[in-house]
Chain A
Amino acid sequence: MPVVETSLVITNKVGLHARPASLLVQTAAQFQSKIQVQYGDKSANARSMLGVLKLGATAGATIVVQAEGEDAEQAIAALTDLARRNFDEEE
């Protein structure tokens, strides 16, 4: 099983709050791969809305995303793209 990992910086204004977290969870759910998100010493299943919120990742935080599965590559690409788009926040 391919494992792909990347670091993403949360650049939007308020961090991983409800709306960006929703987008992250929805994006992760489109893939078969098992995806984990780490921030500091906390780790969450990327499909778990509550887990992602409880990471407490605020603006400027660096999170590590790891995907394991056949479509790991695509999953990481999609999540990277989401973070680069600033989670589609208008600012």
Chain B
Amino acid sequence: MSKSSLPAGSARVMPISPGVAIGPARIYRTASPTLVNTKIEPQQVEAEQQRLQMAIDAALHELRELHAHVAKTVGRNEAAIFEAQQLMLQDPDLLDTVNDAIATRYLSAAVALRQAAEEQAQELEALENETLAARGADVRDVAERVIRHLHADGQPTTTRVDENTRALVVAYDLTPSDTATFDPESILGICTVVGGPTTHAAIIARALEIPAVSGIEAHLLETLRDGQQLAIDGTQGLLYTHLTTLQAQTLYAEMERQRQERTRRRSQQETLWRDKPGSTADGTRIAVFANVGDVEGARAAAEQGGEGIGLLRTEFLFGGRAVFPGEQEQYESYLELFRAFGERAALGKTIIARTLDAGADKPFPALEPLIGSMQEANPALGLRGARIHLAHEELLRQQLRALLRAGAVAGIELAIMFPMIATVEEVRRLRAIFDAVCRELEQEGVAVSTRTQVGIMVETPAAALMADVLARYVDFFSIGANDLFQYTMAADRTNSRVTAMFGTLEPAVWRSIDMIARAGVAHGKLVAVCGELAADTRIAPLLAGLGIKELSMSPLAMLKVKAALHAQTMDYWQQRARELLKAETVADMLSMLQ
């Protein structure tokens, strides 16, 4: 196309990621902090080197998080750069150079690191191979990440893109760290001064289907105002800075058409799985169930192709209530929810109701008049779940009666599950109460299904260790992955000061799940997993590989998990799951999950 045929008010730029975008501009300014203290005193050498190591450790931690985040939201291949960046920060040659500069030239850690990284970046950029040369930007990116930590606040000196307004980002350059924190929903398009089609920012833009161009004039960063209307065509490589009303209308219409096209394409993939049960590529069935906490969720579970409800949190009835609901009110609420699912579900009608899991991080004001104050020094280790049932049997009987009565008339297959089990005695006592309630209801003429299964949540290390014995006393296990993690790692999952120290999955937790799965398989009992792990598309198939037969998750995650399960055969998932058992550290696990 010759210059004269360009649309009015537009300029030719480099196409990076296809599609049209129009909207307000957001100027994204990144500035490296100016280093004030460039020198240290000779007696500070050791302390400065320690400070450097701490900053590097903090940066490595962030990179591990970023890696996991991008792997989940964009893809494993796109996330790989954050692993490469971690290795750059652990490079012995680089670290020697920096420590040496601190020790012999008395440079501050930040100055020494910036100089050493700049040298490395320039050497990389001198390489003929374009992909390798582009890694120069990564060396600078990691060095600046460490420098931010050396400057104590750890905050990037960047004007953040306002996450709530949909806008076109205009930047000099975008590092992988920048793009990783973007919310794809709020970014209409990306325009940069530098950056070719092989940069990671470009790859991520394409993966997220965000239109992008590069090669825009550098002065635009100064002359464009925030909020000024801007448009790009990432397919043809056009930048519009002055739009006529007619042009703007046409481009808005085109952007909308493309958006609908994307939505339609995505939903086609989804409908494919909505009507099908979960299975691996060789046809091994893995049931994909939903976690549900209210009537709305039950409806969504059925509409999103849930094969059952794997975790019905009955707390929905009790939370925030001033007065504890009686049997009849509970019955009516359960019935409404059971029907909301049963009438719509096409792939299965099982509903696993967890009896009230009160205590710990779930406060229940209505319970206090009945069982006393729930103010405990250590609520996660206190009176919660089944422990309340056994201390106040009448409450459990009431709930079981309401559940079983509703189950008998709702046209669903009800199963009962008890939370927070630690001992065999607890299970024996709970089953005895369950049997007594069933007999009582039969005498009253209620048609309780004789096939009602009774299972337990396995979420304490005690239950995991006793799984081979507990399996004799129950019909199924459901692994509560979140609590199992918290109790296994002795890390409060609501305490951000400790949660950040661990990965999504730790080797100890994986081994524990393996042990529980084996116990279930050995006794012919179904083992399910509910919790965030089951919704992680990298991990869910590997849970199947350990012998988990049912995965229960947020209704919105079910379709993508079905698609992930079907990507490989059961043999493959088994092999990968076993490899993961050999992991020594969370870093091993992450690299194996790639």
Contacts and interface: CB of A to CB of B under 8 A. Distances in A.
A51 B87 CA distance: 11
Contacts of A16: 132
A19 B87 CA distance: 11
A48 B92 contact: yes
B124 A48 contact: no
B120 A22 contact: no
Given A48-B93, A56-B132, A22 B124 contact: no
Contacts of A56: 127-129, 132
B129 A15 contact: yes
A9 B81 CA distance: 23
> Taking chain B's interface residues, is the majority helix, strand, or loop, or is none over half, making it mixed?
helix
A26 to B, nearest CB: 7
A56 B127 CA distance: 6
B135 A53 contact: yes
Given A49-B90, A50-B139, A56-B132, A18 B127 contact: no
User: Range of interface residues on chain B?
Assistant: 20 to 34
Contact of A22 (B80, B93, B127, B128): B80
Contact of B132 (A17, A45, A51): A17
Given A47-B92, A50-B91, A19 B127 contact: no
Interface in A1-35: 14-19, 21-22, 25-26
A22 B83 contact: yes
Interface string B76-97: 0100110110011011111000
A49 B129 contact: no
Interface in A36-63: 45, 47-51, 53-54, 56, 58
B591 interface: yes
Given A18-B84, A19-B80, A56-B132, A48 B91 contact: yes
Nearest to A21: B84
B131 interface: yes
Contacts of B46: none
Nearest to A14: B131
A53 B93 contact: no
Interface string B108-139: 00000000000010011001110110010011
Contact of A45 (B90, B93, B138): B93
Which of B84, B131, B135 has the most chain A CB atoms closer than 10 A to its own CB?
B84
A26 B129 contact: no
Contacts of A58: 129, 132
A54 B127 contact: yes
Nearest to B93: A48
Nearest to B138: A18
A50 B120 contact: yes
Which of B81, B124, B132 has the most chain A CB atoms closer than 10 A to its own CB?
B132
Contacts of A22: 80, 83-84, 87
Nearest to A89: B77
Contacts of A47: 91-92
Given A25-B87, A26-B87, A49-B87, A17 B128 contact: no
Given A17-B132, A56-B127, A56-B132, A51 B93 contact: yes
B124 A53 contact: yes
Contacts of A48: 91-94
A56 B88 CA distance: 16
Interface of B: 77, 80-81, 83-84, 87-88, 90-94, 120, 123-124, 127-129, 131-132, 135, 138-139, 591
Given A19-B77, A21-B84, A49-B87, 10 more contacts: A15-B129, A17-B135, A21-B87, A25-B87, A49-B88, A50-B88, A53-B124, A53-B135, A54-B124, A56-B128
